[in-house]
Chains A and B, each alone.
Chain A
Amino acid sequence: SYELTQPPSVSVSPGQTASITCSGDELGDKYACWYQQKPGQSPVLVIYQDTKRPSGIPERFSGSNSGNTATLTISGTQALDEADYYCQAWDSSTAVFGGGTKVTVL
């Protein structure tokens, strides 16, 4: 079965850039999306189709996908961006999630 791998944690200072990677076999040939989940809340879609932001998602969230790696970048990270982030892609009509990355804003 297809697998997506994320680092368990990423730390970033306020105002700096956080990069979260998601690795999968030939992931660049698929579309990746990203979700933000804060404690006790439902996930929120922040990036879809590799690079697109849903309405209401701040411009500081951006995405890319090439080769075997998709990346979510948070520019000018704010304290309210502290959350778990999950990547997701489709493989053979099956939705696959990465294991999640906890972003800590120090």
Chain B
Amino acid sequence: QVQLQESGPGLVKPSQTLSLTCTVSGGSISTDFYYWSWIRQHPGKGLEWIGYIHYSGSTHYNPSLKSLVTISVDTSKNQFSLKLSSVTAADTAVYYCARGYYDILTGSGAFDIWGQGTMVTVSS
């Protein structure tokens, strides 16, 4: 079965760039049907969608984070990555990668497989 695993530094200094990678195992990232997302959860708070990428390279970001976020895909490694620039303490959160589907015509979509999440703390 498909599994997702996040990796990356657990501590990032303010104003630097947060970089995380999600490795997909048990299946190919290069499937038309699925989009690959990053979602974060601030401590004790709810879920916030950051953005998604399709294996073709097509992306869409949360408008509230768009200017700071880049999501990329490496199909040869079956991975996709997140870069969040100019981080502050407000970016301290658990970051999840997730597999999802989204039908732009019907508006149907959901995240059916999630990674275990990785805690990232922004502190000097």
Contact = CB atoms under 8 A, between A and B. Distances in A.
A31 B111 contact: no
A45 B49 contact: no
A90 B96 contact: no
Contacts of B112: 45, 48, 54
B116 interface: yes
Contacts of B107: 30-31, 89-90
Nearest to B106: A31
Given A1-B63, A42-B117, A54-B112, 10 more contacts: A31-B106, A33-B109, A43-B114, A88-B47, A88-B110, A94-B60, A95-B102, A95-B111, A97-B48, A100-B46
Interface of A: 1, 30-31, 33, 35, 42-45, 48-49, 54, 86, 88-90, 93-100
